[in-house]
Amino acid sequence: MTRRQFALPERRVDTPPDDTGCTVLHVDMDAFYASATLLAHPHLVGTPVIVGGGTRGVVLSATYEARRFGVTSAMPMGRARRLCPQATVLRPDHDLYAAISAGVMETFRSVTPVVEPLSLDEAFLDVSGALRRLGGPATIGRHIRDTVHDEQGITCSVGVAPTKVVAKLASTLAKPDGMVVVPRDEVVPFVQQLPVGALWGVGERTEEALVRLGLRTVADIAHTPRSTLERALGTATGRHLHELSWGRDPRPVEREQRERSIGSDETFAADLDDAVLVRRRLLAVSERTAGRMRAARTTGRTVTIRVRFSDFTTITRSRTLPEPTDSGRTLHATATALFDGLGLQRARIRLVGVRVSGLVPLEQAPVQGVIGEPEHGWRDAERAADRARARFGAGVVRPASLIEPVTSTSVRRPGDLS
């Protein structure tokens, strides 16, 4: 059974769904990375597009037109190209994604402070405190969809339900660019019509175990003794799935928790053994990491580099700074010092990454100094570059050392065409 076979119980077409008590919303951007990337390529809207690239890369996202050919996120690019050879391949723009995500989350917080992000492009909202101000849950859902489209230029789908798990299932049914309300008295028939694999938390192995038991729909799970499920799947999983099969999910929407770390890494199109080129790529990932920190309005003290060699051996090294920072210049200086301290001689390197932990909200951070600069200078320049990239695209401003002609030895960013 596919998503398009899911349905709500029959009701009169002219009768709106009863959203009383449906105060949990799950909002999910539609093909987020692909939709955001297409903002700079409007002539490709409605065509198969894959975001990703590189000879060893994977698909970050794909438009619905490409998905019809079987292209999915995390699929190797080689396979994606074979499935959909007519697709246009575009490279990712992570700075743009962070900026749009920040705008979307700000829209959510303007509705309710009780926002639980799951990723850059989806979140749960508890709108119970906003009903008097903004209207019923369905009205709020429409307001969010309209605002995201008007302000960010992308679409989202909304699930409205009494619980988190049902709201998430409803938003999946609503895709793309729709909204589904599951009234309280329709929760059980809605959930029990689904295939077992649709339940949140059921991965491939659990689904295989359920099918071996002859359980193919959620209704099958619901009418199986809980003791049987616990023996086959384990006590916790069996109990959890039995509760979900009846639409029961007591978990509240939890207020946004700040990330514990922010980082970026890069897998090279070909292994590198030139330390100069590796340092240059450390600059690129340091700049991306710092941009994401500034978009999240956070700073950090502990800088960690990750180096993966051609045999997939991976090492990390860390250093804690005297004060928190969000400066790409400072991150790069620290990352370079950590890399140089490894003393590598012609080692073949497959990947480098930079991650910052010990995060502190920007408003709580002391006034930052940046290595080798006066009171104002690089910090102001980096923030001005952020504004330019948000308006004109990620490639409009970059360090001079990252501007180079494409040659057989040039290093490509993730997503560059091979």
363 is catalytic: no
CA distance 245 to 198: 11
Closest among 241, 138, 248 to 188, alpha carbons compared: 248
CA 96 to chain centre: 13
Q: 14 a known binding residue?
A: no
Nearby residues of 156 by Cβ (< 8 Å), 6 or more positions away = 27, 28, 29, 30, 104, 144, 145, 148, 149, 177
**122, 266, 287, 382: which is the annotated catalytic residue?**
122
Q: What is the pTM of this model?
A: 0.65
Burial letters 394-411, b for 16+ CB under 10 A, else e? beebeeeeeeeeeeeeeb
Residues in the chain predicted with pLDDT less than 50, given as ranges, are 1-5, 11-13, 367-371, 374-376, 396, 405-418
| Per-residue confidence (pLDDT) for residue 237, from 0 to 100 | 87
What does the pLDDT look like over 365-376, one tens digit per residue? 554 444 455 444
Quick check: 6 and 34 in contact, CB under 8 A?
Answer: no
- Angle separating helix axes 275-295 and 328-340, nearest 10 degrees: 140
**Domains of the chain, each with CATH number or no CATH:** 33-94 (3.40.1170.60), 190-245 (1.10.150.20), 261-402 (3.30.1490.100)
| Per-residue confidence (pLDDT) for residue 391, from 0 to 100 | 55
Coil vs helix vs strand at 10: coil
DSSP letters, 235-273, are HHHHHHHHHHHTT---PPPPPP---SEEEEEEEEEEEE-
User: In Å, what is the CA distance from 418 to each residue of 90, 128, 308, 310?
Assistant: 11, 50, 21, 19
What does the pLDDT look like over 35-93, one tens digit per residue? 999 999 999 999 999 998 766 678 999 999 999 999 998 888 889 999 999 999 998 88
Nearby residues of 282 by Cβ (< 8 Å), 6 or more positions away = 305, 332, 335, 336, 339, 352, 354
| Per-residue confidence (pLDDT) for residue 407, from 0 to 100 | 44
| Per-residue confidence (pLDDT) for residue 360, from 0 to 100 | 83
Q: 121 a known binding residue?
A: yes
| Per-residue confidence (pLDDT) for residue 57, from 0 to 100 | 77
Nearby residues of 272 by Cβ (< 8 Å), 6 or more positions away = 278, 281, 348, 349, 411
